[in-house]
Structure 1
Amino acid sequence: MTADFWDQRYADRKYVYGVEPNAFLTRQRHRLDRGMSVLAVADGEGRNGVWLASHGMRVHAVDYSAVALQKAMRLALDRGVTLRTTCADLTDWTWPTAAYDAVVCLFLHLGPEHRAAVHRAMAGALAPGGLLIMEAFHPAQLRYGTGGPPNAEMLYDPDTLAADFGGLLDIDVLEDGETDLDEGAHHQGRAHTTRLVGRAPMAETRPDATAR
């Protein structure tokens, strides 16, 4: 999916995925502290990054769509918070390393040619002890039709994420199951998702996340 595709999707003045944060993210609030530096990956129109900023975190939102990030900045202004943004293709972005206390990635779906490398880069962006929070559609989502790409290769089950992040993160949560989505026009209704919460090892035991 190209930047033009996403720019067109986000061109409507309305927030196509809504303005409220992802429900799984809000349930992880107890793991997140004020003052944390957070990378919000594929943050789109900013609903999750702005929510994090509203709880006192320093948020860097990155997305492929300049149109989406303009809307994210508008939402941040409306909510009275600060949001740093970067427009980038995550598959060739120069990812920061060991830079963030947390990385949040919600409903980013990549093909197998890019998925594992981007996931390694996400893990590598975490400072020692840093937290990764992630939710994505499961292959079973194809039966629901309530969001996500219509391509099983771009949907993730727990085994896929365990393979991608194995040895890079200590996994606290790795599960899949049904959930009810209410996230604008494109994520609406009963769905099947995969959820992960992991933590980067401390410096003395941290593996090389860039290793191939």
Structure 2
Amino acid sequence: MDDISSFARTLTKLERLMAKLDMAVSNTRCMFGVKNMELTYDVSLRVAELMEKAVLVARALPAYTGAPDAAMMVARQTASVVHVEIGFTDEGWFSLRMPMLLPKKEHGSADYIRSILFPEMQRFFHNQAPCRFKDCVLIYRHVYSRDRPERQRRDHDNIEINMVSDIVALYTMLDDAPSRCRHYYCSAESDSERTEVYVVPSEEFIQWLSQEKDFPANGPALSEFAPKQSQKDM
């Protein structure tokens, strides 16, 4: 009975969210129709927020049926829909790419990011030992579509990165204390939006910085294993 009542409550919550989402999409269409792009931006943000909340509830729904493998199947579905690229650059820098911008603080949901990233990191390091950078810079490169107006780009201190940082540090660092791990944030333009994360030895950060402006449109090529010559700092 507990599973049945929990399923019913979760389904009702999802239905309410979907009704709000439908209204927000209609409002967005209306504002876009009258060419009020400022209000279009505001209501489209509401669409994005409600969509993230609805996705979280929808992910929980199968588990309330009592199926023992529900969580595993949902994780597989997520991986098949949201492709996270993980690997090492030619220089041996660890990197991952997510095909999305991270949510603003206090908006959207960081749990959604965890459900995407954590299983992918587990899979990537399943057949190899975690890399352990001793003294490094954790870099966030927020890549925006060229069509997005400058005013719609987020301030770096208003982006939710903590959950991503915790997961990356778990697999790539000996210690993420401030004395061992520095942070750097930057933005770039491309044809599609995404978030790129790099872990770079501190003494090689200037090299990364000088190369960043010439990165390919889809980011540097990534390999499954770090080049042997780069492992001196791990």
Structure 1-normalised TM-score? 0.27
Structure showing the higher strand proportion among its residues: 1
Structure showing the higher helix proportion among its residues: 2
Q: Which has the higher contact order (CA 8 A, sep 6+)?
A: 2
Larger Rg: 2
Structure 2-normalised TM-score? 0.25
